[in-house]
Amino acid sequence: MSANDFQKCVDFHGHVCPGLVIGYRAAKAGIEWLREKRAEDEELVAIVETDACGADAIQVLTGCTFGKGNFIYKDHGKHVYTLAGRKSRQGVRVALKPGVMELKERHRQLIEKIRDEKATEGERKEFWDLHRQKSADILEMPLEEIFLIETVKPQMPAKARMESSKPCSGCGEPTMASKLGSIQGKDICRDCAAKHQI
Ligand SMILES: [Zn+2]
Ligand SMILES: [Zn+2]
């Protein structure tokens, strides 16, 4: 891994933030673990339990992506990242420890102000200074203070299949046949089915 790996993550994500640094350090730790176990030769699967900033670093560093079907999102709202070989299921679970992402009171105040659109220019600048500082702190922390790292054998998702599409009877849009439901004998996509219910 090269020295500008972190910069690649920043370029992809668009800014430096503590969440991105967590994802970056988790990916590095996971990849290092797999290398030691020689599981890196087979196709990697990444399972992320958050859709926040950190997930972007995982995609950049592992090369696992949504489109390839080897990047799995679980909506758990946790900084937990699992990397595993698809065949051996030999894997590593990297979970954020409590307290690491805790922010100073002023930092939290500023986040609220920005969320409520009440922050001044100066306060925005102050927020980004604190955000960058927190990011730099996490970048320097010893790994074992950030994460709990465990060996796991996760269930592997089915490989993405090539599948033909059929038009939805509601909107007419071509839809993977296995994703169409049936309403009154008609093939209906999930989007149309949800609107139907309202
Ligand atoms: Zn971010
Ligand atoms: Zn439809």
Residues lying with their CB under 5 A of ligand 2, a single-atom ion: 168, 170-171, 189, 192
Instruction: Give the max Cα distance, the chain.
Output: 60
pLDDT beyond 70 at 64: yes
Residue 198, pLDDT above cutoff 90: no
Q: Give the mean pLDDT of 169-190.
A: 94
* 164 CA from centroid of ligand 1 (Å): 37
**Ligand 1 center to residue 102 CA distance, Å?**
16
The tokens describing 98, both together, are 């409590």
pTM of the model: 0.87
Q: How far apart are CA 4 and CA 17, in angstroms?
A: 16
Q: Supply 96's token pair.
A: 């954020």
Q: Among candidates 145, 158, 139, which has minimal Cα distance to 57? A: 139
Given a cut of 90, whether residue 67 has pLDDT beyond it is no
Who has greater pLDDT, 112 or 43? 112
DSSP summary character for residue 64: -
The SS3 of residue 73 is strand
Mind listing the pLDDT tens digit for each residue in 18-52?
Answer: 999 999 999 999 999 998 887 666 889 999 999 99
C-alpha 183 to ligand 1 mean position (Å): 41
- In the predicted structure, residue 139 carries a pLDDT above the cut 90: yes
Between the CA of 187 and the centroid of ligand 2 the distance, in Å, is 8
Ligand 1 centroid to residue 114 C-alpha, Å: 15
Q: What percent of the chain has pLDDT over 90?
A: 82
Among the listed residues 79, 84, 92, 100, the one whose alpha carbon sits nearest the alpha carbon of residue 142: 100
The pLDDT mean for the chain works out to 93
pLDDT at 158: 75
pLDDT band at 157 (very low <50, low <70, confident <90, very high): confident
Instruction: Select from 63, 67, 56 the least CA-distant residue to 13.
Output: 56
pLDDT at 119: 95
- Ligand of minimum distance to the alpha carbon of 55: 1
How far does residue 139's CA lie from ligand 1's centre (Å)?
14
Q: Is the pLDDT of residue 160 over 70?
A: no
Coil, strand or helix: which one is 57? helix
pLDDT at 197 over 80: no
pLDDT band for position 1 (cuts 50, 70, 90): low
Is it the case that residue 110 has pLDDT exceeding 80? yes
User: For residue 159, how far is its CA from the centre of ligand 1 (angstroms)?
Assistant: 29
| pLDDT at residue 65 greater than cutoff 60 | yes
